[in-house]
Amino acid sequence: MLVTKRLDFEHSTAFQLEDINLSIQKGEIVSLVGPNGSGKSTLLRLMSRLISPKSGEILLVGKAIKSMKTEDVAKKLAMLPQMLDHQLDLTVAELVEFGRYPHRGAYSKLTTEDKKITQWAIEITKLQSFRNRMLHSLSGGERQRAWIAMAIAQRPEILLLDEPTTFLDISHQLEVMELVKDLNENFGMTVVMVLHDINQAARYSERMIVLKNGKVLYDSTPTDVLRREMFQSVFGIDANIYKESGKTFFTPMKLGKEG
């Protein structure tokens, strides 16, 4: 679905992404984790063509993404960035309708199909009772679901999410993560997301990619990734690893020595 080949990016002499080779398979939920400044959000922005690499190639469903038309990219891939403008003077329904632009153009009227998909996106995100509410009047969790509704109204095959649970309380974090799981399991969306909460990533992902200093150090299942050696070398902590309901989790124990 999404492939990076020998991807390099240089923001400054202090930060670079080096030789990133990844292949995201159809139907996966993949979490990017790592310390602050490791390159997680930058990698997501490269994958979505928001920024351009210094060298290397990104393939979207087998095609070089740099040569694709913007509307064709948007029909295959939707990106929800970390920073969103919550003060837009729009209702929830109006925001979600923007997701149909790649399919109809900015100045065309909504078709019956557009209206049907807009309604579907609102229903899936459980925003029916908020459809006529102004975006800025919603709670943090409700707003985040509204933005996700806009993204899935594109009907993308791949959904990229940059820290979708940041600044949300625990109950709203779970709402968003259960929504992501539903979109993957019931609607076949491939999901790549940046998460700070490693236990959350372990619970909801089939695969975790760990970055540090612009390089991929680990890429495997949560069970294979969540090991004491990884926490010691990447985060500089010691950790207790345990299993619950078939999933692998951790608790931090103490500061350790970075490798």
Q: How much is the pLDDT for 259?
A: 44
Q: How much is the pLDDT for 256?
A: 67
Q: How far is CA 113 from the centre of its chain?
A: 26
In a domain, 241, yes or no: no
In a domain, 180, yes or no: yes
In a domain, 246, yes or no: no
Token pair, residue 205, equals 């992902």
For 23, list phi and psi in degrees, rounded to 5: -135, 110
Token pair, residue 109, equals 């009227």
How far is the first Cα of the chain from the last one, in angstroms, to the nearest whole number? 34
In a domain, 173, yes or no: yes
In a domain, 105, yes or no: yes
Q: Which range marks the domain in which residue 140 is found?
A: 2-225
Its pTM stands at 0.92
Any idea what the CATH number is for the domain that residue 110 is in?
3.40.50.300
How many domains does one find in the chain? Answer: 1
**Tokens 């999404």 sit on residue:** 2
Mean per-residue pLDDT pooled into runs of 10, the chain (259 residues) = 95 87 97 96 95 96 94 93 78 93 76 94 96 92 92 95 92 94 96 97 97 97 97 95 95 73
Q: How far is CA 61 from the centre of its chain?
A: 17
In a domain, 141, yes or no: yes
From the list 160, 149, 167, 177, the residue with the least C-alpha distance to 32 is 160
In a domain, 242, yes or no: no
In a domain, 238, yes or no: no
Q: What is the DSSP string of the chain?
A: -EEEEEEEEEEETTEEEEEEEEEEPTT-EEEEE-STTSSHHHHHHHHTTSS--SEEEEEETTEEGGGS-HHHHHHHEEEE-S---TT-S-BHHHHHHGGGHHHH-TTSPPPHHHHHHHHHHHHHTT-GGGTTSBGGGS-HHHHHHHHHHHHHTT--SEEEEESTTTT--HHHHHHHHHHHHHHHHHH--EEEEE-S-HHHHHHH-SEEEEEETTEEEEEE-HHHH--HHHIIIIISEEEEEEEETTEEEEEEEEE----
